[in-house]
A and B are shown apart, each in its own frame.
Chain A
Amino acid sequence: MKDNIVIVGGGIAGMEAARQLLRMGLNPIIVEKSDHLGGHVARWHRLFPDMTPASELVGGLIEATGQANIFLNTEISFMNRLKDSYNIMLSNGVSVIAKVVLITTGFSVFDASKKEEYGYGVYDQVMTNSDLEQWFNNGNDSRIDGTEINAVGFVHCVGSRDEKARNSQCSKVCCITAVKQAIEMKQKFPDAAVYCFYMDLRMFGKKYEDFYISAQRDYGIRFIRGRVSEVSENIDGRVIVKAEDTLAGKPVKVTLDLLVLMSGMVCNRDCSSIAGMISLQTDSDGFFKSRDNISDIICSSREGIYYAGACTGPKTVPETLAEARSAALEIFSYINRA
């Protein structure tokens, strides 16, 4: 079929777009490199700000995209441009001529061990936001299970807004995720002191501020304005965090049983390889470059190539879903026009 639509990435953006395209009577092909659909969200426990279980969203999407052609464990091995379509070779040997390619490759989570001073992978009691969600999901993590949790700290902006980590962009969701996870930890360990070390709190979305207020008022989360710069380990394995309380203008030091690093969103490694195949532009942050950041965020500079979700930069779940829908609509009119 000449009017093939290939969706690269089976995360929530890819699935939502597929769902919409199916509704419009089109039959997209989803190519997913891992063995499951749902991407990062599938591994998450609950979503802010309403604490919706992530499985509900992902489950719903999987159900709705059942009729689409889905290739799991498959990558794009090769893609080139034909006259008005794209020739795509998949790693499973299938080759497709596609009229439209929708890129929904999403993001990667920053590798926290690259911020050496935080000691991820060095100290026992340091974990990341993803590790914590895993624990929420399956309740199995030696860092929490074996220890008495009296004090927990969250470090915002790990690998985001950080030129040293080669990511100067804000990851958008970590502030609110930290607030969410802090509340969840407080719910699990009501007697524990929970600290959030932040540079700026960016509570821009609907109900985020309410969430933040509730964290302060209802849960007594202690917010400290200062970026953690050094973490050391006590003889008993607890970690000592050093920061400057910039509001007081004094250095602060606190001993914690658990330190959670809010690893940010960074560009997917596939970005540059896919961009290289059909000479798409990437931005200075490594994410795909949209044709226009205001009016054409889902369009690329090439005809027939569309973007949705975090492949063009850090996005929240609702933003991703909205982009996926608008990409589907754009694709629909493109196919009918041609």
Chain B
Amino acid sequence: MRERFLTGYNDFVLPFMIGMVFILSYCIIALIRIIAQLPKEDRRRFFVSLVTPKTLVKNIKDIFCDCLLHVKIWKRNKLLGYMHSSIAFGWFMLIIVGHIEVLLYTPHRAKLFYYPIFFRYFVAETESTMKGAVLFFLMDFFLLVVLSGIVLAIVKRIRSRMFGMRRTTNPSFLDLVGLYSLWSIFPLRLLAEGFTADISGGSFLTKSLNYVFTSFLSDHANMLPSWWAYSCALGIFFCVLPFTRYMHIPSEILLIPLRNAGIRIRHARKGLAKAEVYSCPSCGLCIDACPMGVQKANIKDTTVYLNRQIRRNNETRIEEISDKCLLCGKCTAICPVGVEGDKLRIAQRSIRKYGINPDYSSISTGPLTRDSRGKVLYYSGCMTALTPSIRKAMESVLKKAGVEYELMDKDGGICCGRPMWMAGRFDQAKQMVEKNTEIIKGSGAGTLLLTCPICYKIFKERYRLDGIRVVHHTEFIDSLISEGRLKVRRDTNKYVYHDPCELGRGSGIYEQPRNVLLRAGTLVEAAKNRKESICCGGSVGSLTLGFDKRKALTENSLNNLTVASPDIIVTACPLCLNTFSRYADRKVEDIAETIDRNTSN
């Protein structure tokens, strides 16, 4: 290899350089700002995590798997996964191999930013270049990989269903600019390198293209314009990148270590929230996942649009989108980059100003406290009061198993605080948490039993009940069975289990209820289950979705549950039970009822 130009420079590198300098400085400033926005203890935590070997390894592994290989998308759809990883990983390898070439052949140019990118323009092949054939081959190979990804991306624009996506996002204008410039980068590179291949050398792709070109375009004058075009495409892409969805590429590299450091969203727009919003690649997977998607009117209220509106500071839409959401958490569960749609929305709700601020300090907890030393304290919660079948069945199961228990809220109690928390009114929720903590600690109970997943989630996450075991009844029944305290009979019914949002995605309890049901009868699965189960539509998470708007959601969820034609739909949440029974064409019951029916004293 020898250099063709003494200067090692041509004007066509300018667009690329401008773009590159712009994007680098933008990212560095953004990085500093986000880190500065973190609360002090979070920032410390972040820096500590960066030097802790365990998280460091995890960071590198996650960045490699998520940003380059897109493992999560592979799991969802092979074609979609290939499309993403071919572009990301292929491009990454082009950059790496390009740098190796520079280091090998023209090490004195290594300090020039643009040199690896436009390497082929600046060098000419010599006889001794044959040892570079492997590198040349690799360059062409990865270029082909990227090009195949681009072809798939173009096909996806037209036929998204092939990629397992029913609906995709509507790109904004700048997104389109970014998209078209990204699409054109690699074909232009192929063109430029193709024109140059007889001078600089190449491999199966560029060399062959060069033969085709020389057969009718023998003039080398075509070379420069194509290098210009290639550089311009890169320049445009880098310049619009911060204002398009492609910002997710640099943001995700920050989001992964932030997440691995265990940092939570503390502010609606700053710090982690900002990193998440910018990490959204607008892929639109959350559109299909959203249970509200059954109604077309709700499509623009999905997480991808929330992120877009937050980036645009469109307060009216941000409020609409965050208030409508059911907070079922499905978008969070399936998001390939880890945007927490539900928590992000709660954070948006938390910055509202209210003229009326509830206060519960006047409630005296003394009369509500029952002596429960050595017993299980059963807090049935607000919703269970409206589904007496659950409480009655649960009490009966407890008696059959010989569990000594006390009811915490027989004559009324204080709400667990989770609905208030979901509305973003943390101070009020915390007050309720404190009051209930007083009651529970005062009772002396060792175990707190809950039949409502809404309560369960906040009791697990926000209560400091040191030493007191907090259990949901699905877990409790499961442990009673495995301890041999309950003998369950099998019946001939076919059951399907609905994973309530707050219990499954919210608290990670999937197996215990299934273990229990497997002993009671035949268990079939819903089309979408566990992590992808569909919200019943009754959620207290949504603030603005009125009763009449929820029917379609419930019916959709029921259709999903009944694909395997079960006899009975079993759930473990009073709110799901209440919602489903309204529209179901078959029996809906709580898991406690199933077990109560299938056990005897």
CB-defined contacts of B392 to chain A, threshold 8 Å: 122-123, 233
Determine whether B354 belongs to the interface, using a CB cutoff of 8 Å to chain A: no
Determine whether A166 belongs to the interface, using a CB cutoff of 8 Å to chain B: yes
Q: Which residue of B lies closest to A126 (CB)?
A: B388
- Residues facing A in B375-401 (CB within 8 A) are 385-389, 392
* Complex Cα gap A122–B391 (Å): 10
Q: Given A122-B392, A164-B582, A166-B582, does the pair A116, B547 have CB atoms closer than 8 Å?
A: no
* Complex Cα gap A119–B386 (Å): 9
Determine whether A230 belongs to the interface, using a CB cutoff of 8 Å to chain B: yes
User: Among B386, B547, B548, which residue has the most Cβ atoms of chain A within 10 A?
Assistant: B386
CB-defined contacts of A164 to chain B, threshold 8 Å: 547, 582
Determine whether A114 belongs to the interface, using a CB cutoff of 8 Å to chain B: yes
* Complex Cα gap A121–B392 (Å): 11
Q: Given A114-B581, A164-B582, A166-B582, does the pair A119, B388 have CB atoms closer than 8 Å?
A: yes
CB-defined contacts of A230 to chain B, threshold 8 Å: 385-386
Q: Which residue of B lies closest to A251 (CB)?
A: B412
Determine whether A141 belongs to the interface, using a CB cutoff of 8 Å to chain B: no
Determine whether B578 belongs to the interface, using a CB cutoff of 8 Å to chain A: yes
CB-defined contacts of A50 to chain B, threshold 8 Å: none
- Residues facing B in A153-169 (CB within 8 A) are 163-166
A232 touches B388 (CB 8 A): yes
CB-defined contacts of A311 to chain B, threshold 8 Å: none
A117 touches B386 (CB 8 A): yes
Determine whether A13 belongs to the interface, using a CB cutoff of 8 Å to chain B: no
CB-defined contacts of B547 to chain A, threshold 8 Å: 163-164
Interface size class of A (residues with CB under 8 A): 10 to 19
CB-defined contacts of B387 to chain A, threshold 8 Å: 116-117
* Complex Cα gap A177–B236 (Å): 78
Interface size on B, residues (CB 8 A): 13
* Complex Cα gap A233–B392 (Å): 9
Contact bitstring B538-573, A, C-beta under 8 A = 1, else 0: 000000000110000000000000000000000000
CB-defined contacts of B385 to chain A, threshold 8 Å: 117, 230, 232
Q: Which residue of A lies closest to B392 (CB)?
A: A122
Kindly provide the distance from the CB of A212 to the nearest chain B CB, expressed in whole angstroms.
31
- Residues facing B in A215-236 (CB within 8 A) are 230-233
* Complex Cα gap A230–B548 (Å): 23
Number of A-B contacts (CB under 8 A): 35
A117 touches B582 (CB 8 A): no
Main secondary structure of the interface of A (DSSP, over half): mixed
- Residues facing A in B124-145 (CB within 8 A) are none
Q: Given A163-B547, A164-B547, does the pair A123, B388 have CB atoms closer than 8 Å?
A: yes
* Complex Cα gap A123–B391 (Å): 11
Contact bitstring B331-359, A, C-beta under 8 A = 1, else 0: 00000000000000000000000000000
* Complex Cα gap A232–B395 (Å): 13
* Complex Cα gap A232–B390 (Å): 12
Kindly provide the distance from the CB of B262 to the nearest chain A CB, expressed in whole angstroms.
41
Of B386, B388, B581, B582, which one neighbours A233 at CB under 8 angstroms? Answer: B388
Of B388, B548, B578, B581, which one neighbours A122 at CB under 8 angstroms? Answer: B388
Kindly provide the distance from the CB of A43 to the nearest chain B CB, expressed in whole angstroms.
25
Kindly provide the distance from the CB of B207 to the nearest chain A CB, expressed in whole angstroms.
70
CB-defined contacts of B578 to chain A, threshold 8 Å: 116
CB-defined contacts of A122 to chain B, threshold 8 Å: 388-389, 392
CB-defined contacts of A116 to chain B, threshold 8 Å: 386-389, 577-578, 581
* Complex Cα gap A166–B388 (Å): 21
CB-defined contacts of A165 to chain B, threshold 8 Å: 582
* Complex Cα gap A272–B594 (Å): 33
Q: Which residue of B lies closest to A253 (CB)?
A: B411
User: Among B386, B388, B389, which residue has the most Cβ atoms of chain A within 10 A?
Assistant: B388
Kindly provide the distance from the CB of B539 to the nearest chain A CB, expressed in whole angstroms.
16
CB-defined contacts of B386 to chain A, threshold 8 Å: 116-117, 230
CB-defined contacts of B410 to chain A, threshold 8 Å: 232
A231 touches B581 (CB 8 A): no
* Complex Cα gap A166–B554 (Å): 14
Kindly provide the distance from the CB of B569 to the nearest chain A CB, expressed in whole angstroms.
15
* Complex Cα gap A131–B282 (Å): 59
- Residues facing B in A108-141 (CB within 8 A) are 114, 116-117, 119, 121-123
Kindly provide the distance from the CB of A254 to the nearest chain B CB, expressed in whole angstroms.
15
Kindly provide the distance from the CB of B550 to the nearest chain A CB, expressed in whole angstroms.
11
- Residues facing B in A88-117 (CB within 8 A) are 114, 116-117
Kindly provide the distance from the CB of A238 to the nearest chain B CB, expressed in whole angstroms.
14
Kindly provide the distance from the CB of B586 to the nearest chain A CB, expressed in whole angstroms.
13
Contact bitstring B51-78, A, C-beta under 8 A = 1, else 0: 0000000000000000000000000000
Contact bitstring B292-313, A, C-beta under 8 A = 1, else 0: 0000000000000000000000
Q: Which residue of B lies closest to A231 (CB)?
A: B388
- Residues facing B in A192-223 (CB within 8 A) are none
CB-defined contacts of A232 to chain B, threshold 8 Å: 385, 388, 410
* Complex Cα gap A284–B316 (Å): 34
A117 touches B581 (CB 8 A): no
A-B contact pairs, 12 of them (CB 8 A): A114-B581, A116-B387, A116-B389, A116-B577, A116-B578, A117-B386, A121-B389, A122-B392, A230-B386, A231-B388, A233-B388, A233-B392
Nearest 5 interchain pairs by C-beta = A117-B386, A119-B388, A122-B389, A116-B387, A122-B388
Given A123-B388, A163-B547, A230-B385, 10 more A-B residue pairs with CB atoms under 8 Å apart are A114-B582, A116-B387, A116-B389, A116-B581, A117-B385, A117-B386, A121-B389, A123-B392, A231-B388, A232-B388
